[in-house]
Amino acid sequence: MVTPGNAEWLSLHREEALDPALPIIDPHHHLWDHPGSRYLAEDFLNDTASGHRIVQSVFVECLSGYRDTGPDAFKPVGETDYVRTQAQRSDRDFPRQTRVAAGIVGFADLTLGAAVDDVIAAHVVAGAGRFRGIRHASGWDPDNEVRNSHTHPPAGLLADKNFRQGFACLGRHDLSFDAWLYHPQLAELTGLARAFPDTSIILDHVGGPLGIGPYAGKRDQVFGQWKNRISELAACGNVSVKLGGLAMKICGFGWHSGDTPPSSQQLAAAWAPYVHLCIEKFGVARCMFESNFPVDRLSCSYAVLWNAFKRLTENCSADERAALFHDTAARVYRLTTV
């Protein structure tokens, strides 16, 4: 068997793009050059050229291109420089393709409290008009089989006094906050959203329903817990949700371990309960589909992923689909559309 997630394995199942003229903004992808793993703007463009009409994208922080000198607090600003440079080169060399990283979401350590304001200001300058928000991932679980976020958060980060002092700086810069956590933590995000009703919060990956470690084999139980907490969070009008991320290992579907990749029909059938509930509770004006590439590439190709999303919206009106695939992301991330 070929290695799951690589090009040879992904090529074992191919699909033509459904509804290829539908304009899409991909509001969540990464660019990185880590040891043994490389995914740069040209790699992303190869994926977006697979048949769907991806007009713009939003980059989300992933420990890329940090500065190796200077104060630790400002080292993540190097990621914004790194991505902006790739984006500008892509605009110049491939003007008729996807506008890569039209929006940039970076990392700043919000536990610095009010002192993080200078770091945020430096990100804004480095983004040269592209910087849109901060993600300080808070994914934490007491079980060692669940991998905690790359930011090494403590339990209860979102309620931490210093974190909230730092979070308050976002409003002064008209920036949003991307929230990455796991489903048992959703009530913590609801508390944060209620405390800062004027700050736009975007929940990543439908709230991280876990399916590994102590959550393996408990999909119905997890879904029930997730449903209750998502419904409560949806009552906060300042929160939007990204529909995606369900191809990650932590969700427990196991697509990455198959002899062949899943079809878009298989993906849509498995993900329908999560996607449809989010649309029901948040409404299309606060929902947006995302690729989470290259992370979700471990389970399926870019073309198949977006086909699954399109299958999930077959019963939606044209206006509803426009919101889910393009308009919500454009508004929430304040992107210029043409």
- Give per-residue pLDDT as tens, 304-336: 999 999 999 999 999 999 999 999 999 999 999
Q: Are the C-beta atoms of 159 and 181 separated by less than 8 Å?
A: no
What distance in Å separates the CA atoms of residue 267 and residue 304, rounded to the nearest whole number? 9
**In the predicted model, is pLDDT for residue 12 greater than 50?**
yes
Q: How confident is the model at residue 1 (pLDDT cuts 50, 70, 90)?
A: very low
One of 1.50.40.10, 3.40.605.10, 3.20.20.140, 3.10.580.10 is the CATH number of 7-332, namely 3.20.20.140
The residues pairing with 293 across neighbouring beta strands, listed in sequence order, are 29
- What are the start-end ranges of the E strands in the chain? 23-29, 32-34, 37-39, 53-60, 99-106, 131-135, 176-179, 201-203, 239-243, 287-289
The residues pairing with 179 across neighbouring beta strands, listed in sequence order, are 203
**pLDDT cut 90: percent of the chain above it:** 96
Average confidence (pLDDT) over 58-70: 97
The tokens describing 230, both together, are 């998502």
**In the predicted model, is pLDDT for residue 262 greater than 70?**
yes
Q: What pTM value is reported for the model?
A: 0.97
Per-chain mean pLDDT for the chain: 96
The size of the chain, in residues, is 338
Q: How confident is the model at residue 337 (pLDDT cuts 50, 70, 90)?
A: confident
Lowest model confidence (mean pLDDT) among 34-43, 48-57, 318-327? 34-43
What distance in Å separates the CA atoms of residue 216 and residue 213, rounded to the nearest whole number? 6
Q: How confident is the model at residue 338 (pLDDT cuts 50, 70, 90)?
A: low
The residues pairing with 60 across neighbouring beta strands, listed in sequence order, are 105
Average confidence (pLDDT) over 174-181: 98
The residues pairing with 239 across neighbouring beta strands, listed in sequence order, are 201
Q: How confident is the model at residue 7 (pLDDT cuts 50, 70, 90)?
A: confident
**In the predicted model, is pLDDT for residue 39 greater than 50?**
yes
Q: Where do we find the tokens 């919206």?
A: 313
Amino acid at the residue 256: H
**In the predicted model, is pLDDT for residue 3 greater than 70?**
no
Model pLDDT, residue 30? 98
Average confidence (pLDDT) over 105-134: 98
Average confidence (pLDDT) over 193-208: 98
Average confidence (pLDDT) over 169-178: 97
Q: Are the C-beta atoms of 106 and 123 separated by less than 8 Å?
A: yes
SS3 (DSSP) at 303? helix
Average confidence (pLDDT) over 132-153: 96
What distance in Å separates the CA atoms of residue 309 and residue 61, rounded to the nearest whole number? 24
Average confidence (pLDDT) over 52-63: 98
